[in-house]
Amino acid sequence: MPHALLSLITYVPLAGALVAWLFCRGGEAQDLLARRIGLGTSLAVLALSVALWCGFNPATPGLQFETRLGWVSDAGISYHTGVDGISLVFILLTAFLTPLAMAAGARSIRTQAREFVAAMLLLETALFGLFSAQDLLLFYVFYEATLIPASLMIGIWGGPKRAWASLQFFLFTFGGSLFMLIALIVMWQQAGTTDIPALMQAGFSHSLQGWLLLAFLLAFGVKLPLFPLHAWLPDAYSEAPAPASAMLSGVLSKTGAYGLLRFGVLMFPDAAHLFAPYVLALGVVAILYAAFVAFAQTDMKRVIAYSSFSHMGMIAVGLFTLTAEGIDGAIFQMLSHGVVIAALFFCVSAVALRSDTQQISALGGVARQMPVLALLTMLFTMANIGLPGTGSFVGEVLVLMGAIHVSFWVALLAGGTMIMGAVYMLSLYRRVLFGGVQGAVHLLRDLSVGEMAVLAPLALVTLWMGVHPGSFTRLFDPVVMQAMHHGALTATASLPDATVHLAAR
């Protein structure tokens, strides 16, 4: 059973999608049944993921829960899956956000519920497969598989510009992944296998490492996104319905950072040192550029979209500091950002659905009508700008601790995400939640029980990550430290319990 647990987690959503698709044809009663199947399936997968977490041994930095089956064995290609501490935390993030997005869809997705449930569960299966894949071709298949349901969710249930947003998202991501396919073929030709642990030991030449890392930077830089590969992001995030926006920003963007970590920093350490100054510069540019653009937006969802872009720049900086603190901080920031940005999209959606507008100028005084929403939005706003006691603070400070080993100026400029974040997020909060009541705001009603059930777990996890970050760092820090001892990272300081003391300060 322990070896089958990871396979169950990966393919139970696929089974749920097939059941919903095949047996829920018809009217409103069948749509309701499809929603219940989707929510029940995602909650069952969450329970299985918690069981995986409980059965995981953090003291072992290698792979656990491995499965290896022959696929194209003569060509060195196999169905090989398994998790280490890094994979595990992203599986947990996916399993946590999916049922919340599914529940949020009960209010924001009014038509074609069966198709929505199937798309969401297919996306969940693809994400689980991607994070657990230990064969590069298998990783590529699951990476591409995320494109289909994500594009459909934008294109079918999105806003007025949904077709263009969906097309941009698909073309940018698909075009970028072609570089990954080229790199995959070259690596297979050199090593005779696509098995990731074997490729880690393949000993590619310095010049080949550079070209391969460039290909992976282009592939994953689109999904992260790195500046200037972000043109798809504002439209995709703002046009997508709230559940899709939450999954896009909360998990899908993390697949880009995960890929850069796996196939950049850890697999090609020599090339990573060569490219680090350029990626650090692009990360700092993304942080500052996105923050300034966010402040100029007039649409609530576009402010949150550019906020996400700015924070992903911070993650890129953390990864390419090539220090233990920077890598740990980047991973932790990915987790905390995934939770907080999803919560912010849900909060914005709650206002937009009631007022029928996303325009900041058309809103004001919402806090008088929706005090519970105002309280939760304040928590997530503070978390987004890195308030001590929230998960984002821990991640950002660890990234800055890693950056200071590289350059004082990198750390100073990257720290601008906290300052600029406070400017545009507090401005958004003040203009929408406070001030005089405008338009139909006086008719708004506070959060329903269902919406509270979505936002309350996000609030609890945000505080949990800030108060006790060691619950998560203990999972992935051994993997990072092992990579450091093998020379991939700069040997600075380990942090077994430092983050706990940091959060308590």
Residue pLDDT, tens place only, 13-35: 999 999 988 887 767 778 788 88
Confidence band, pLDDT 50/70/90 cuts, at residue 50: very high
**Which stretch, 109-113, 129-133, 431-435, has highest mean pLDDT?**
129-133
Is the pLDDT at 355 greater than 50, yes or no?
yes
Percent of the chain with pLDDT over 90: 38
Task: Name residue, tokens 């708004």.
Answer: 444
**For position 125, what pLDDT does the model report?**
95
**For position 490, what pLDDT does the model report?**
44
Query: Cis omega (within 30 of 0) on the bond before 228?
Result: yes
**For position 495, what pLDDT does the model report?**
40
Is the pLDDT at 296 greater than 50, yes or no?
yes
User: Which tens digit of pLDDT belongs to each residue from 470-493?
Assistant: 889 888 888 888 877 765 444 343
User: Which tens digit of pLDDT belongs to each residue from 432-474?
Assistant: 888 776 666 667 788 889 889 999 999 999 999 999 998 898 8
Mean pLDDT confidence for 108-118 = 84
**For position 46, what pLDDT does the model report?**
95
Mean residue pLDDT of the chain comes to: 86
Closest by alpha carbon to 153, among 163, 144, 145? 163
Percent of the chain with pLDDT over 70: 94
Confidence band, pLDDT 50/70/90 cuts, at residue 501: very low
Is the pLDDT at 291 greater than 60, yes or no?
yes
Mean pLDDT lowest among 353-362, 461-470, 491-500: 491-500
**For position 381, what pLDDT does the model report?**
92
**For the stretch 338-359, what's the b/e string if a residue is b when 16 or more beta carbons lie within 10 angstroms of its beta carbon?**
bbbbbbbbbbbbbbbebbeebe
The Cα-based distances of 400 to 186, 284, 329, 341, 423 in angstroms read 36, 12, 8, 21, 20
**For position 346, what pLDDT does the model report?**
92
The Cα-based distances of 321 to 67, 185, 399, 408, 439 in angstroms read 33, 29, 8, 12, 48
**For position 49, what pLDDT does the model report?**
95
User: Which tens digit of pLDDT belongs to each residue from 170-221?
Assistant: 999 898 889 999 999 999 988 888 888 888 888 888 888 889 999 999 999 9
Is the pLDDT at 351 greater than 80, yes or no?
yes
Mean pLDDT confidence for 52-70 = 87
CB 45 within 8 A of CB 13: yes
**For position 2, what pLDDT does the model report?**
61
Residues 6+ apart with CB under 8 A from 226: 217, 279, 282, 283, 286, 313, 316
Is the pLDDT at 311 greater than 90, yes or no?
no
Mean pLDDT confidence for 264-286 = 89
Is the pLDDT at 263 greater than 70, yes or no?
yes
